[in-house]
Structure 1
């Protein structure tokens, strides 16, 4: 769910609620299961295997935010995401989910958990992640992706 807020004035009071795709784009909710949301990570991981940053970035909405595992700088534009993945893919990463919790709403979903990346040199990076998704124009896209290495050894 994006950090977007819709406000409604009711009897002089402001009621704040998250604005989902349902309140901004459509009045119907796309049917989706936890299994389908879990499959979005598989789709993303498969796009990593192409070693093509353009393919990876197709998983992200136009205004998504990427807070990547191996970078300090937030990636806010398509060009910045492509640049990040160009270098990340040189390591030939493969992700594996270790644990997860999925929450689903009307045209949004959140997948939070831990994963481990294995690279071509055999090194592994355990990390925690959050993917937020929205259903946009008939497709589930990443609206934010935060990944950080585990702080404890």
Structure 2
């Protein structure tokens, strides 16, 4: 007989998954992998999912599971966008990626250098099995979204 997970356990699993991914991001930062702007953007929906999970466990409101799914889908979308920027599939934010051609005076060139981001969004700092941290975040967050949706659809 296979035990079934009730809604509260699924929510705990999904919120715990976001907590694990967020702790993993902080661990990599502690190891010296400074986050770029897009990396930081991906953390906020995970923080929201954790808060939503706590609120669900306290209040039991079913719609909170749908809100958790939305948070997980948001960070998955940001992770996919970031992975695409890293792969050169599309341009990232100007404040986070390398600029175009260098032109102008020496003062203009110095200004461009000084305004360049310290951590660029279009460079892969770490990868595993050909996927960057952003790519892994997208995949794992889609799995978390599926768990949130299963929790929202569960009868009890």
- Which structure: larger Rg? 2
TM-score (norm 2): 0.24
Q: With structure 1 as the length reference, what TM-score do the two structures score? A: 0.25
Task: Name which structure has the greater RCO, CA cutoff 8 Å, separation 6+.
Answer: 2
Instruction: Say which structure is richer in strand.
Output: 1
